[in-house]
Structure 1
Amino acid sequence: MDRPKLSVIIPVYREEARIAALLAHLAGLPAPGGAEFLVVDGDPERRTLAAMPTEAALALASSRGRARQMNAGAAAARGNVLLFLHADTRLPPDAFARIQAALDDPGGADLCGGAFSLSIAPDGGPENRPPGPGLRCIAWAANLRSKLTRAPYGDQAIFLRRDCFEALGGFADIPLMEDLEFMTRLRRSGRRIRLLSACACTSARRWEREGLLRCTGRNLLLRALYHLGVRAQRLARFYT
Structure 2
Amino acid sequence: MSMISVVIPTLNAAPHLAGPLCSLVEGMCQGLIKEVIVSDGGSDDGTSDIAEGVGARLVVGAAGRGAQLARGAAVARGAWLLFLHADTQLAPGWERVAERHMQESYERVAGVFRLRFDRPGLRPALVAMGANLRTALFKRPYGDQGLLIARRHYDDIGGFAPLPLFEDVDFIQRLVERGGRRALRGLPITAITAADRYEAEGYFRRVGRNAALRRAYRRGVPPTDLAERYYAPSPTRLDPYGKAAAHRARQDTLGP
User: Shorter-chain TM-score: which interval?
Assistant: 0.7 to 0.9
Aligned equivalents of 2:141, 2:197: Cα separation in 1: 19
After TM superposition, give the deviation of residue 109 of structure 1 in Å: 2.1
Match of 1:141 among 121, 130, 135: 130
Residue 82 of structure 1 pairs with residue 81 of structure 2: yes
Identify which of 13, 16, 26 aligns with 1:15: 13
TM-score if structure 2 supplies the norm length?
Answer: 0.83
Give the Cα–Cα distance (whole angstroms) in 2 for the partners of residues 78 and 119 of structure 1: 30
Could you tell me which amino acid in structure 2 is paired with residue 16 of structure 1? A
**Unmatched runs of 5 consecutive residues or more in structure 1:** 123-130
| Pairs aligned (count) | 228
Structure 1 range deviating more: 214-223 or 41-50: 41-50
Residue 225 to residue 212, structure 1, CA distance change in 2 (3 Å): same
**Separation in 2 of the partners of 1:53 and 1:208?**
31
> Tell me, what secondary structure is at the counterpart of 1:39?
strand
Secondary structure at 1:36's aligned position in 2? strand
Shift in CA distance, 119/52, structure 1 to aligned 2, threshold 3 Å: same
Q: State the secondary structure of the residue aligned to 1:17.
A: helix
Shift in alpha-carbon separation, 1:239–1:193, aligned structure 2, 3 A: same
Question: Counterpart of 2:116?
Answer: 119
CA distance in 2 between counterparts of 1:21 and 1:142 reads 22
User: Does residue 1:223 correspond to 2:221, yes or no?
Assistant: no
Letter in 2 for 1:66: R
Mapping for residues 1-240 of structure 1, pairs under 5 Å: 5-29=3-27, 31-43=30-42, 45=44, 47-105=46-104, 108-109=105-106, 111-122=108-119, 131-190=120-179, 192-240=183-231
Between the aligned partners of 1:71 and 1:42, the Cα distance in structure 2 is: 12
**For the structure 1 residues 225 and 109, does the alpha-carbon distance in structure 2 shift closer, same or farther, using more than 3 Å as the test?**
same
* Distance of 2:46 and 2:40 partners within structure 1: 8
* Structure 2 unmatched runs, 5+: 232-256
Which string of whole-angstrom CA distances, capped at 9 and with x for unpartnered residues, describes residues 194-231 of structure 1? 11121111110110122223212111111111122212
Matched residues in 1 for 2:167 and 2:16: separation? 23
Q: Which has the higher helix share?
A: 2
Equivalent residues of 1:23, 1:56 under 8 A apart: no
